[in-house]
């Protein structure tokens, strides 16, 4: 008599026999709406500027950014996260371009909203690192340390300016203590209760940010280990999560994604708000570089990495492949 609880009666391979079978029983599915496109816009350029460390990614002009946003809409991508790169001469100690209504990020927000309206969630990076001459995410004190509370005042002003420029969602990424509550209060004070906050809840001091430094023209000297999280820690992330939710975060993020899938899974199992993961520049560049060498199958590696991030618990994923992958998924469907 055959026993069906074990081999040979039970054969899991029966559910892997054909592409149609594997597709039918798949437990995790990527969808274009899962994806968010990070995009860089640079002040004072007439043509898109390729980012050497991120093959296929550019610093956009205002016009090319609008085109990229329209392509994302057509592909079914849910959102676009904008990073502004001001001219070097405009940077200063307090990141003035970040609160100037005519700063490049605010101009880009208005451009993209005019182009896509509400068909794409327009998100803004709320941080000072792209706009300060020292490259840190906050204001420095007289000893050269990032001053948490002085930085919060700048973040409050940034939130209001970005909301006025058209952001549906602001993404405070500086890892300052208390930033979510201060930003929520600042938005509510100007009657923008409708603007959501995507909290960079667990943002680690990672080596994988390297290519991003080129992408935003970073002026950073030193590191950000006094405010970004230690890669060795897990409980610290859960403490940050509790604080962000208490302060009013609408969505929470784990960043980077691939090296921190355990953190992502812990966060996703603990909350009832959407969880976002950011597949960062180093994750992108490693796959592109290995594929260029012929060491891996590029398209399969991209989909496998994204599927792993979603399987770990991400509701949405920021990825530089967002539009490309969404187009392919749409075709497959």
Question: Residue ranges for the binding site?
Answer: 213, 224, 240, 281, 320
For residue 99, give every residue at least 6 positions away whose Cβ sits within 8 Å of its Cβ, in sequence order, or none: 154, 157, 158, 161
146 DSSP β-pair partners = 140
298 burial via Cβ count (<10 Å: 0-12, 13-18, 19+): middle
Give me the catalytic one of 91, 255, 293, 328: 255
Annotated binding site for 5-aminolevulinate: 213, 224, 281, 320
**Which tokens sit at 299?**
């398209």
Run of H or E including 171: strand 169-172
Q: Look at the block and give the residue holding tokens 């904008």.
A: 82
Instruction: Give how far Cα 7 sits from Cα of 4, 13, 18, Å.
Output: 7, 11, 21
CA dihedral 50, 120, 73, 296 (to 10 degrees): 50
Beta carbons of 282 and 211 less than 8 angstroms apart: yes
How far is Cα 209 from Cα 191, in angstroms, rounded to an integer?
A: 35
Coil, strand or helix at 242: helix
> What is the number of other CB atoms lying within 10 angstroms of the CB of residue 222?
10
Instruction: Give how far Cα 119 sits from Cα of 54, 125, 149, Å.
Output: 27, 19, 36
Beta carbons of 267 and 216 less than 8 angstroms apart: no
Determine the straight-line distance between the first and last CA of the chain, rounded to whole angstroms. Answer: 43
Annotated binding site for Mg(2+): 240
Decide if 255 is catalytic.
yes
Closest CA to 216 of 51, 66, 10, 32: 51
> What is the number of other CB atoms lying within 10 angstroms of the CB of residue 87?
13
Coil, strand or helix at 152: helix
Give me the catalytic one of 66, 91, 203, 310: 203
- What is the phi-psi region of residue 75: left when phi exceeds 0, alpha when psi lies from -120 to 50, beta otherwise? alpha
Q: Which residues are catalytic?
A: 203, 255
């Amino acid at each position: 008599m055959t026993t069906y609880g074990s081999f040979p009666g039970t054969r899991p391979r029966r559910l892997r026999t054909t592409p149609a079978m594997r597709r039918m029983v798949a437990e995790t599915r990527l969808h274009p709406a899962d994806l968010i496109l990070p995009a860089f816009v640079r002040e004072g350029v007439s043509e898109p500027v390729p980012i050497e460390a991120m093959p296929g990614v550019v610093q956009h002009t205002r016009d090319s950014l609008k085109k990229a946003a329209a392509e994302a809409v057509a592909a079914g991508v849910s959102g676009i996260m904008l990073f502004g790169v001001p001219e070097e001469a405009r940077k200063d100690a307090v990141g003035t371009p970040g609160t100037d209504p005519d700063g490049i990020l605010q101009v880009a927000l208005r451009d993209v909203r005019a182009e896509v309206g509400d068909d794409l969630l327009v998100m803004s990076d709320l941080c000072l690192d792209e706009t300060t001459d020292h490259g840190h995410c906050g204001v420095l004190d007289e000893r050269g340390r990032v001053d948490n509370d002085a930085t919060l005042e700048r973040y409050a002003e940034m939130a209001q300016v970005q909301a006025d420029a058209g952001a549906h969602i602001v993404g405070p990424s500086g890892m300052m203590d208390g930033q979510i509550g201060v930003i929520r209060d600042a938005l509510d004070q100007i009657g923008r209760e409708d603007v959501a906050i995507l909290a960079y809840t667990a943002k680690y001091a990672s080596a994988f940010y390297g290519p991003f430094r080129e992408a935003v023209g970073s002026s950073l000297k030193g590191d950000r280990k006094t405010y970004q999280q230690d890669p060795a820690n897990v409980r610290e992330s859960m403490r940050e999560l509790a604080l962000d939710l208490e302060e009013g975060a609408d969505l929470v993020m784990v960043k980077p994604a691939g090296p921190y899938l355990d953190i992502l899974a812990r966060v996703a199992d603990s909350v009832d708000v959407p969880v976002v993961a950011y597949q960062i520049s180093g994750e992108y560049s490693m796959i592109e570089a290995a594929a260029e060498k012929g060491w891996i199958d590029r398209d399969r590696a991209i989909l496998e990495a994204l599927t792993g991030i979603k399987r770990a618990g991400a509701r949405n994923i920021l990825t530089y492949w967002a539009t490309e992958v969404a187009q392919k998924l749409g075709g497959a469907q």
